[in-house]
A and B are shown apart, each in its own frame.
Chain A
C-alpha cells in the first residue's frame, strides 16, 4: 500500500513538474518570437569593490540613412512646435548608432541599482524622451506630461501586465506601478498621437546601458570575471544567439565595438 501511495504521490509531483515546465516553455516560446533581451535566472546584489568597466561604441553599417520626418496630424499648436522624426534608426557622426542597449547577459552577482535614479519618460512636445528607457523590475516609472494635451500611455507588455491609461492634460506626473518580471524591450505608444513611439526594458540587474548620440556606452563596477555581452536595437535586432565574450579584470577597462546593420 505504502508503495502505491508513494507511486501516486511521485506521479502527482511529476505531473505538476511537467505542467509547470510546460507553462514556462509556452511563455518562453512566445517571447522568443520577438527580438528580446536575455536575463539571468537569478541576480544577487552585493558590494562591488574595485570593479572593472566595459565601454565602447556601437556603429551602423552602411550609408547613414535619411531620417524620416513624421507628419504631425493633430494638436499641431503643441506637437508641431518641433519637427518629429522616426527615431527607429538614429545615426550620428562617424556612423554612431544611438539608442542601442548594451548589457551583460549572464551576470548573477554585482552592484545594486542606483536607488536615486529618476525613472521618467517625458512626453513633452508629443515625443517620448528618452526613446529607450531601462526600468528596474519592481520600480515605479513616472510618465511626465507638460504638454497640456491628452496622452494615453500604452505599454505593450506580454509577460507583465500591459498598460493603457489616459494621462489627461494637466496630469503632470503619472507614476506607474513597478512590474513583477524582467521583460522586454516592450513598445510604448500614445494612440492619440500615433507617431509617438518608445521602448522600455524591465531589467533584473543594473548592467544595462543605452548608447548616446555618439554611439557610446559604459557599464561600470563590473565584478572581475568573464561575461557574455549582448546588444539590442529596435531596427537592427540582437546578438542573443551569439553574444560576445568579454573578460573583465579588477579595476580594468575592456573596450568593445559593435557594428550593426538593419535586420
Chain B
C-alpha cells in the first residue's frame, strides 16, 4: 500500500515536472508578479490587455506597442521571427530612444524585468505556439571599419534602396519618407542615420547590422535577407558583367542571351535559398551554391553597416554648456558668408531640442533633435550659422486644422532684451519671457531670406518690432538639413534689441517648428536658456591684459597691506 502511494506520488510529480518543463522550454511561465509589475508600470501606456491603448497612449507617436500582434522592432532574430526573451529583456532595460518608451534599468529589478517579459509574452499566442526557438541572425565574418569598406557600403546603400527612405546622406529625407505609415496606420518617419542616438535599438555596428537584415517589424522598414541583395547568386565578376549589360540602351541577341543566363542563375539561387528556409530537401551542390551566395551577402552587409556607421558621430554631441559653451570667434575684416569654408574650422555648439509640453497645444512627439550653432564676429558685426535637420521642406502650403494657420518649418532664436548682470541675476521666463521681455529672431521657411525681430512677454504674447533692424539673412535647404545665416550689428539704435559686447555671457534659447509634424504656435520644440559669448579678442589683447591685471593686483595687494597696517596701528 505504502509503496503504491509513493509510486503514484512519483508519477504525479513526474507529470507535473514534465508539463512545467514543456512550458519552460518556451517561456518562464508568467507569474502574478509579472502581472503586477506590468499593471503598475506599463499598463497606462500599453493597456491592461496589452493592446497599446493605455490612458496615456493617445498623445504618443509612435504609439505604445500593441503586444497582441507580436510585432517587435528590435530583434536579434531573422525577419518574420519573434524576438528572443533576451531581446525583450534588453529593450525593457534600455528603453527606446526617439520614442516615449522609458528604460527600466533603475526603476525595476532584473528579476521584475524578467517577470514582465514573461507576462507580455502572454498577450500574443505565437510565443506559445512556436515549437522551435526563433532563428537568430548570425554575425559572421565582421569586416572592420575602413575607408575602403565605407566606400563599398556607400554604393550598396543606393543599390539596395536604403536611399529611397533614408535619403542621400541618411537624414531620413528619402523620396518615400513622407508617405510612410506603420502597421497601425500612423504616420512614421525613417530614422535619421546621422543621429544614431535616436535609434530605437542602439547604434553599435552589430545593432545596425541586425536591424536591416531582420527588418523592423511593425514599421515600413523592410528586411534585407539574402535574396533581397542585387544579383544574389552571381559571382562578383558575373555581377559586374550583368550590371554592365543592364546599363546598355539596347542589347544584341547574344547579350540578351547572356543576361538571360544570369537571371536564370539568380532565380535558381533564390529558389534554393527559399527551399532551405522552408526546411526542404536540397543537394550538396545546392548548399554550396547557397553558401557561396551568402558569403557575398554577408560581406556586403558589413560594408553597408560600416557606411551607415560613418554617417554618424561616435556619440550624441555634448550640449553647449560648461566647456562647450557657444563661443563666437573673432575675425578681422568681413565675416564669412553662408557657404564659406571658415565655418568648417571649429565645432558647433549643440542645443538639444525637446517638445514644448507646458502650454497647450503641446508637442509630445518632437521630430527635430537639436540645432547646431556657430558664430563669428568682428569689430562691428556678428554672424551666426544655425544648422538643423528636418526631413521635409514645408513652406506653409497646408494649414493646421484647429488654428487655420499655415504649417511651415521655422526657427526662432531668443535672447533677453537686457543681459542679466551676473550669473545669478534673473533671466526672462524661458517660454518667450514674461515680466522680463525677450528679443527674438523669427525665421520661416516660406520667407527664407528674411528674419523678423520680435519682442515677447510670453509664449502667446509676441509683437513684431516696429523698427526692423538691418538683419542680413541667407538660408538653404538640402538633403534634409536647413542652414540659416544671420548677420547683425553688435550695437543697434533700437532699445528693444539686444546689445552685444565681447566677454559677456549672453543667454540664448531656441524654438523650432517642423511643419510636417503639425508644429504651429506653442506646438513646437524648444530649449531652455543656454549662453553664448563673443570670445574676447585674442592676440594683441591677450598680451595687453595680463600685465595690466598683474599691475592692478600688485597695487591692490599694497593697498590692502597699507590698510591692514593702519588698522593694526590704530587698534593698538
Contacts and interface: CB of A to CB of B under 8 A. Distances in A.
B217 interface: yes
B294 to A, nearest CB: 16
A1 B5 contact: yes
Contacts of A154: 220, 222
Interface of A: 1-2, 4-5, 8-9, 12, 23, 26-27, 30, 73-74, 140, 148, 150, 152-154, 156, 158, 161-178, 191-194
Contact of A168 (B69, B80, B159, B271): B159
B270 A175 contact: yes
Interface residues of B, number: 51
Contacts of B160: 150, 166, 168
Contacts of A162: 71, 80, 183, 217
The 8 closest A-B pairs by CB, nearest first: A194-B179, A150-B161, A191-B220, A152-B222, A161-B80, A166-B228, A74-B175, A166-B222
A10 to B, nearest CB: 12
Contact of A165 (B179, B228, B278): B228
Nearest to A74: B175
A193 B176 contact: yes
Contacts of A156: 183
Contacts of B225: 165
Given A167-B228, A168-B159, A1 B165 contact: no
A177 B278 CA distance: 7
A178 B277 CA distance: 11
Nearest to A178: B278
A152 B80 CA distance: 15
A168 B222 contact: no
Contact of A192 (B11, B159, B176): B176
Contacts of A194: 176, 179-180
Given A2-B8, A156-B183, A161-B80, A172 B228 contact: no
B470 interface: no
B267 interface: yes
Contacts, number: 118
A2 B217 CA distance: 51
A178 B275 CA distance: 11
A74 B161 CA distance: 13
Interface stretch (B87-95, B229-237, B382-390): B229-237
A70 B172 CA distance: 24
A51 B179 CA distance: 49
Interface of B: 4-5, 8, 11-12, 15, 19, 68-69, 71, 79-81, 125, 128-129, 159-161, 164-165, 175-176, 178-180, 183, 215, 217, 220-225, 227-232, 242, 246, 263, 266-267, 270-271, 274, 277-278
19 contacts: A1-B4, A1-B5, A2-B8, A23-B125, A23-B128, A26-B68, A140-B274, A162-B183, A164-B79, A168-B159, A168-B161, A168-B230, A169-B161, A171-B228, A173-B270, A178-B278, A191-B176, A192-B161, A192-B164
Contacts of A26: 68, 125
Contacts of B68: 26, 30
Contact of A166 (B19, B71, B224, B271): B224
Given A5-B12, A192-B176, A171 B220 contact: no
Nearest to B5: A1
Contacts of B221: 164
A166 B227 CA distance: 9
Given A23-B125, A23-B129, A168-B230, 15 more contacts: A23-B128, A73-B175, A73-B178, A150-B161, A161-B80, A162-B80, A162-B217, A164-B215, A164-B220, A166-B160, A166-B224, A166-B228, A170-B246, A171-B230, A191-B222
Nearest to A180: B129
Contacts of B129: 23
A207 B457 CA distance: 72
A2 B9 CA distance: 10
Contacts of B175: 73-74
Most chain A CB atoms below 10 A, which of B68, B176, B215: B176
Given A5-B8, A166-B160, A171-B228, A27 B125 contact: yes
A137 to B, nearest CB: 14
B222 A172 contact: no
Given A150-B164, A177-B278, A8 B176 contact: no
Contacts of A140: 274
Contact of B222 (A164, A170, A193): A164
A198 to B, nearest CB: 16
Contacts of B263: 170, 172
Contacts of B161: 150, 152, 166, 168-169, 192
A23 B127 CA distance: 11
A171 B234 CA distance: 12
A1 B230 contact: no
A31 to B, nearest CB: 11
Contact of A177 (B183, B215, B274): B274
Most chain A CB atoms below 10 A, which of B161, B225, B232: B161
Contacts of B220: 152, 154, 164, 191
Contacts of A8: 12, 15
